[in-house]
Homo-oligomer: A and B are copies of this chain.
Amino acid sequence: MGHDMGNAGRRQRRKEERPGEILEAAFEEFARSGFAATKLDDVAARAGITKGTIYLYFPSKEDLFLATVREMNRPSQENLAALTAVPQGSAMAILRTHFAFVYEHMVEDRRAREILRMLMAEVSRFPDLADRWRAEVIGPAVENLRRVVRYGIERGEFRASAAEEFPHLLFAPVMMACTWRLMFGDDHALDGAAYLAGHLDLMERGLAQGVGEGGGV
């Protein structure tokens, strides 16, 4: 009512930021409630806009969800891509660095954890999401690990073990910490330096060429 010049500025401000703000809000809501239980009204309220505005940028709730997951995955992809460098030096040192990085970006980053939750929860409604995630995120990460393990074996640092076929075994404590924290909340979180150190310690022992075992299998 009357002359609403006051909020004219607010509307003008940022047009290209809108989609990002919406995705941000959508992420929070989808992560909290899952796809079906999330209301676009709540997303809009969190983004400080109205429901109709969402439809200016995303044609449907499903599309918004897909865009949200993709958006939130992007950083991980970039980060993990950085790990595909040619390995050099001690394989164990590489693993140390690698897992220190991974813990920071998958366990202690709430976003990454919530993405995991969303993927697990909505697999049957969005089967492509998990496929794509495996192809673009997890698969490469596993391959990277495998390469490091092989590198360690080749240079006589590691023994031959199932870790070559199942690098997942090395990655497992990360998933454990993720799911644990997802399910039981930050108050019961496992992680912290001690957990990571324990992981690395057990892994080193598990992978290492035993004393006096020579270089063979």
Contact = CB atoms under 8 A, between A and B. Distances in A.
A194 interface: yes
Contacts of A203: 202, 206
Contacts of A173: 168-169, 172
A8 to B, nearest CB: 20
Interface stretch (A17-25, A49-57, A120-128): A120-128
Secondary structure call for the A interface: helix
Interface string A74-89: 0000000000000000
Interface residues of A, number: 55
A133 B182 CA distance: 13
A124 B36 contact: no
Nearest to A174: B172
A165 B116 CA distance: 26
A197 B185 CA distance: 32
A120 B180 CA distance: 9
A195 interface: yes
A166 B130 contact: no
A183 interface: yes
Contacts of A185: 130
Given A166-B195, A202-B163, A121 B121 contact: yes
Contact of A202 (B32, B37, B207): B207
Given A130-B185, A179-B179, A211-B211, 20 more contacts: A33-B36, A34-B34, A36-B36, A117-B120, A120-B182, A121-B121, A134-B183, A134-B188, A165-B194, A165-B198, A168-B173, A168-B190, A169-B176, A169-B195, A169-B198, A175-B175, A175-B176, A210-B210, A210-B211, A212-B212
